[in-house]
Amino acid sequence: MKVAASISELELARSELMAGATPPVIAYVPTMGALHDGHLSLVRLARGIADVVIMSIFVNPLQFGPNEDYAKYPRTLERDLKKAKKAGVDLVFTPTVAEIYPAGRQVSVKAGAIGEVLEGAFRPGHFDGVLTVVLKLLNIVRPSVAIFGRKDAQQLACIRRMVRDLNVDVDIVGAPIVREEDGLAMSSRNRFLSPAERASALVLSASLRAAAQEPAPAAALAAASRLLTVAVDAGEIEVDYISVVNGTTMAPLPDDYTGPGLAVVAARVGTTRLIDNIELVFPGPERP
Ligand code: AMP
């Protein structure tokens, strides 16, 4: 496995991997490191569809607010490189902040309305930061396919929207959420949870599973809210939002909606902020 710490090293390693009669398909997996099985499932998916798998590990300062956990975000590069190699990554790009954001940079991407609701309402500018780095990384890596986890459903929707609105020449693939056995969605931030907080955090996935049992958006929202409220009243979590939305636009679903939807939740457990979501299908009334 090759490791490139700068754009010029990336260029060199990329052209070596591309050498051959037929240009190979490159699949790209962007990450912020602290790799877990969720990230590695993206690599497995990439391996299945491409000849060359490139991963990046870059904690993007632009997507963290001033009071967020940028400084504290876990950085475990040596361990990450071992995991990436074992999972079959061909090339890992590990740029510095100065390499990605040289002094004097001015132009950035704005997510627009899709980036201002839900996560965007609680983390102003977050998706502008995500889209700016993703577009830069796509331009540097130049893959045919880029793979993102459905764990970050709004991020995936924003990226799909950017690719469409800015005619970015890449196929975006969304990968299923990988969970711990007890239902907790895997996240680099789970390591910050104490054993008691980790137990409290299970209410997020439990509330989403409850939502998925319901036949219509309002009932789904009510079912999830009921469980979350118990945990809030017990002082175990603080909920930022719970909503039932269209997975493409992130707009709330009206109650007469039928078809696929998404229940999304964000909550703080102690000082750790967690997000999760579940795909729902609202079947509509049965026909006689
Ligand atoms: P991050 O390192 O948190 O920026 O995540 C990098 C990529 O891994 C993103 O596309 C995430 O959506 C994806 N990812 C993170 N956690 C999971 C998970 N539990 N299951 C599937 N994908 C995930």
Domains assigned to the chain: 2-175 (3.40.50.620), 190-278 (3.30.1300.10)
Average pLDDT for residues 265-283, to the nearest whole number?
A: 98
How far is Cα 14 from Cα 89, in angstroms, rounded to an integer?
A: 13
Position 13 scores a pLDDT of 97
* Mean pLDDT value across residues 149-159: 98
Q: Give the Å distance between the CA of 39 and the centre of ligand 1.
A: 5
| Residue 266 near residue 119 (C-beta atoms within 8 A) | yes
The alpha carbon of 148 and the centre of ligand 1 are apart by a number of angstroms equal to 7
Ligand 1 close to Cβ of residue 250 (< 6 A): no
For the stretch 103-143, pLDDT in tens is 999 999 999 999 999 999 999 999 999 999 999 999 999 99
Is residue 82 very low, low, confident or very high in pLDDT (cuts 50, 70, 90)?
very high
Range 57-75 average pLDDT = 97
Section 220-248 average pLDDT? 98
Q: For position 261, what pLDDT does the model report? A: 98
39 is catalytic: yes
pLDDT at 156 over 80: yes
Residue 285: what pLDDT? 72
Quick check: CB of 32 below 6 Å from ligand 1? yes
Has 189 been labeled as part of a binding site? yes
Q: What is the pLDDT of residue 221?
A: 98
Q: Classify residue 268 by burial, with Cβ atoms within 10 Å: 0-12, 13-18, 19+.
A: middle
pLDDT at position 54 over 70: yes
Mean pLDDT, to the nearest integer, of 25-33? 98
Mean pLDDT, the chain, as a whole number? 97
Q: What is the side-by-side strand order in the sheet with 272-282?
A: 238-245, 259-269, 272-282
Whether ligand 1 lies within 6 angstroms of the CB of 136 is answered as no
Q: What is the mean predicted confidence (pLDDT) over 19-32?
A: 90
Mutational test site, ligand 1, from 152, 189, 191, max ligand atoms within 8 Å of CB: 152
208 annotated to bind ligand: no
The two tokens of residue 128 are 């502008």
Bridge partners, 31 (sequence order): 57
Total Cβ atoms within 10 A of residue 169? 9
- What is the full DSSP assignment across 79-126? HHHHHHHHHT-SEEE---HHHHS-TT--------GGGTSTHHHHSTTH
Is 36 marked as binding a ligand?
yes
94 lines ligand 1 (CB under 6 A): no
Q: In this predicted structure, what is the pLDDT of residue 284? A: 73
Percentage of residues in the chain with pLDDT exceeding 90?
97
Does 186 sit in the ligand 1 pocket, CB within 6 Å? yes
Closest atom of ligand 1 to 36 CA is 16
Q: Which residue in the list 4, 31, 39, 54 is annotated as catalytic?
A: 39
Q: Look at residue 21 in the predicted model and tell me its pLDDT.
A: 61
